[in-house]
Amino acid sequence: DAGVTQSPTHLIKTRGQQVTLRCSPKSGHDTVSWYQQALGQGPQFIFQYYEEEERQRGNFPDRFSGHQFPNYSSELNVNALLLGDSALYLCASRKLGAGNQPQHFGDGTRLSIL
Amino acid sequence: TQLLEQSPQFLSIQEGENLTVYCNSSSVFSSLQWYRQEPGEGPVLLVTVVTGGEVKKLKRLTFQFGDARKDSSLHITAAQPGDTGLYLCAGGINTGTASKLTFGTGTRLQVTL
């Protein structure tokens, strides 16, 4: 039973470019959330997708957008990259409606902006 | 804005010592989760507590959720080098289709021989 998988594991981009990160949720999970973790800090919530719609959003600019596909996988897109976007991007999944079932995290994509 | 503050931020102890990590907030959460994260990996769930006053034990780790569901603590007995890592608490509010986690600032623990 595969857990949450993310790709790529590492990525280097330059300022102004655009990036797409991908996530496959744990089997049986239907809700995907994305988090940004800067070095030395706790993860910060970006947004959450359920039934292919953005359901909740954290304090991130519109440069950050996402998508969820019918198979529950998800993408995170970031446009006009800034140096401050360098971080570990984490994807988490859970089964909605399962009470307080916890979120399970992938190992993240390390994004470096030069 | 919901904030979770963890203390201490850094902790360096020797094998066999006991320690407690605190997670405090002014907000009420539906659940409180503790994760451990190692370099290059995502957070791994240790425990979820949902009832005020709840205490859960996981081998040498004891987790407690405050009566008002605003704070939590993690106590490690007889720490081992394998306990080294970043410990994160995260508060969850599950309403309808929303399930956002608010993470604490993290406690970096180093256990030496």
Bridge-based pairing state of the strands A10-13 and A109-113: parallel
Residues B44/A102, Cβ–Cβ less than 8 Å = no
Residues in chain A with CB shorter than 8 Å from the CB of B94 are 99-100
Confidence of residue B103 (pLDDT cuts 50, 70, 90): very high
Contact criterion met (CB < 8 Å) for B106 and A42:
yes
Contact criterion met (CB < 8 Å) for B42 and A108:
yes
Q: Which residue has the tokens 């605190």?
A: B22
Residues A101/A94, Cβ–Cβ less than 8 Å = yes
Compute the C-alpha angle B68/A37/A50, nearest 5°: 70
Interface check A102 vs B, CB under 8 A: yes
Per-residue pLDDT of chain A (114 residues; tens, 9 = 90+): 679 999 999 999 999 999 999 999 999 999 999 999 998 889 999 999 999 999 999 999 999 999 999 999 999 999 999 999 999 999 999 988 766 678 899 999 999 999
Residue A11 tokens read as: 């990525």
Distance from the Cα of A81 to chain B's closest Cα (Å) equals 22
Residues A68/A23, Cβ–Cβ less than 8 Å = no
The 3-class secondary structure across chain A, one letter per residue, is CCCCEEECCEEEECCCCCEEEEEECCCCCCEEEEEEECCCCCCEEEEEEECCEEEEECCCCCCEEEEECCCCCEEEEECCCCHHHCEEEEEEEECCCCCCCCCEECCCEEEEEC
Residue B34 has pLDDT above 80, yes or no: yes
Interface check A32 vs B, CB under 8 A: no
Contact criterion met (CB < 8 Å) for A56 and B100:
yes
Residues A90/A108, Cβ–Cβ less than 8 Å = yes
Contact criterion met (CB < 8 Å) for A105 and B44:
yes
DSSP helix/strand/coil, A27: coil
